[in-house]
Structure 1
Amino acid sequence: MLIYNTTFHVEINDARNFVIWLNEYYIPEVEKSGELRNPRILRILSHKEQDSECFSLQWEVEDSAALHHWHTKQGMHLNEEMMKVFKDKIVGFPTLMEVIR
């Protein structure tokens, strides 16, 4: 099993709305595909800056082929939606990890 993690750097004034948006729109949309499962949103404490907050959104995914299928079918569209809503107030970068234990 793999973990698909996206770390988001969000301007402090948009952090609360971002988490609400993830919970109310993004996560329910992703769950419709069934390819990414068991979402977790985490606040990152080790990179605290005065004008921003960092969050991690993690999903379980069976393999990289399933992730690629999701990304081309749905992921790119959802990222475009995120940019429409939050514009340049958010930066995200993905990491794909393998569960060893």
Structure 2
Amino acid sequence: MLLYNVTLILEDSAAEEWLQWMQEVHIPEVMATGMFVSNRLLKVIDSPNEGVTYCAQYVAESLENYNHYQTTYAPALQEDLNARFKNRFVAYRTLMEFVG
């Protein structure tokens, strides 16, 4: 099992709009790809960064599912994010493996 983590640092002025869009549009679209078995959305409480920091996490059963998501679905989904919130966020993406 793999955890795909997307950490986003948003300008304060974009945070509320982004959160609503994530919950109502983006996360359902990601999950509709069928490449992930679960997800969660977290708000970082003690972030050292300015703005508001969130982590969107998605669990994939296999590297093949993750890779298929990255090649087939991610470019369009990330472009939608970039178009809607251009210059109002920074994103960091990491892939982690469950070990215990």
TM-score, with normalisation over the residues of structure 1? 0.92
What is the correspondence of 1:1-101 to structure 2 with a 5 Å cutoff? 1-49=1-49, 51-101=50-100
Q: 1:48 to 1:16 in 2, by over 3 A?
A: farther
| Separation in structure 2 between the aligned mates of residue 64 and residue 91 of structure 1, nearest angstrom | 25
5+ residue gaps, structure 2, are none
| Aligned amino acid, residue 67 of structure 1 | Y
TM-score, with normalisation over the residues of structure 2? 0.93
The question of whether the paired residues in 1 share the 8 Å contact of 2:39 and 2:57 is answered with yes
The question of whether the paired residues in 2 share the 8 Å contact of 1:48 and 1:54 is answered with no
Q: Could you list the per-position Cα deviations for residues 50-93 of structure 1 after superposition, in whole angstroms to 9, with x for gaps in the alignment? A: x5010000010012221110111111100000011000101111
| Separation in structure 2 between the aligned mates of residue 39 and residue 76 of structure 1, nearest angstrom | 19
Q: Which runs of 4+ in 1 moved over 4 A?
A: none
5+ residue gaps, structure 1, are none
The question of whether the paired residues in 1 share the 8 Å contact of 2:11 and 2:52 is answered with yes
Q: 1:17 to 1:48 in 2, by over 3 A?
A: farther
| Aligned amino acid, residue 57 of structure 2 | Q
- Identity rate of aligned residues, in percent? 29
- The structure carrying a bigger strand percent of its residues is 1
| Separation in structure 2 between the aligned mates of residue 85 and residue 34 of structure 1, nearest angstrom | 24
Corresponding residue pairs, total: 100
Q: C-alpha root-mean-square deviation of aligned residues, in Å? A: 1.2
